[in-house]
Amino acid sequence: MASKSNTVEEEEEELTLPTDEYEALISTTDVELLKRAWRNEKSAPEILRFESDLINRVTEQIQLMEETVEENSTDDADPLSLSLYQMDLDRTLFLLRSYLRVRIQKIEKYMFHIRKTEELWNRLSKEEKKFTRGKDYLLQFSFVPSKNLFSLQV
């Protein structure tokens, strides 16, 4: 019987290896995941899938951090801990803004290619698609020759 329980324990150990990796992934904070998404987006030649769930969670965390900083700034809180909260907030805001900025730069640079390729188009968020359509609309009408330009005497 002891050999059967050892076999079961060995099988359980083998099964826990993937869950250890899963737990390691879960234990990473959203800021670390945002940093990873930011690095991936910066280094990838094409636009990657928009991380909507992650961005929503990070945005909520930023709001909570801002509230915490505001509450502690009015109280007689420790200035050191307050500055650490503020630094963490600033770092998170930088990562979020930079991630979104890199995506917008790619969209502006490769807008026509993204619009033509369904796979790339589906990687954009709703807001990014709206931005792309608006930018495309503006570009179409900014290059339309105006009647006033042709009526000018040279």
Enumerate long-range contacts of 64-67, CB under 8 Å, 24 or more apart. 65/89, 65/92
Cβ atoms of residues 25 and 56 within 8 Å: no
Residue matched to tokens 């796979």: 119
**Residue 77 carries which DSSP code?**
-
Q: Which amino acid appears at position 86 of this protein?
A: Q
* pLDDT at residue 53, rounded to an integer: 95
Cβ atoms of residues 31 and 62 within 8 Å: no
| Domains of the chain by residue range | 51-102, 110-142
Residue matched to tokens 């959203």: 30
* pLDDT at residue 121, rounded to an integer: 95
User: Which letter, b or e, does each residue of 16-45 get, where b requires 16 or more Cβ atoms within 10 Å of its Cβ?
Assistant: eeeeeeeeeeeeeebbebbbebbeebeeee
* pLDDT at residue 131, rounded to an integer: 95
- What is the chain's pLDDT, residue by residue, as a tens digit (154 residues)? 444 445 544 444 444 445 555 555 555 789 999 999 999 999 999 999 999 999 999 999 999 989 888 888 877 778 888 888 889 999 999 999 999 999 999 999 999 999 999 999 999 999 999 999 999 888 888 766 655 555 555 5
